[in-house]
Amino acid sequence: MHYGDISFLFTGDAEGEAEQQMIDDGMNVSADVYSMGHHGSETSSQRFFVEEVNPDVAVYSSGEGNPYEHPHDEALQRVEDQGADIYGTMEDGTVTVITDGESLDIDTESEE
Element (H, E) at 18: helix 16-24
> DSSP assignment, residue 89?
H
Distance between CA atoms of 33 and 7, rounded to whole angstroms? 6
Q: Residue 111's pLDDT band (boundaries 50, 70, 90)? A: confident
- Over residues 46-75, the mean pLDDT reads 91
Q: How far apart are CA 42 and CA 32, in angstroms?
A: 21
Q: Give, in order, the Cα–Cα distances in Å from 5 to each of 76, 108, 111.
A: 26, 23, 26
Average pLDDT, the chain: 94
Range of the domain at 103: 2-111
pLDDT band at 69 (very low <50, low <70, confident <90, very high): confident
pLDDT, tens digit, 9 for 90 and up, residues 6-35 = 999 999 999 999 999 999 999 999 999 999
Among the listed residues 48, 46, 54, the one whose alpha carbon sits nearest the alpha carbon of residue 74: 46
| Average pLDDT estimate for 80-108 | 96
Q: How many domains does the chain have?
A: 1
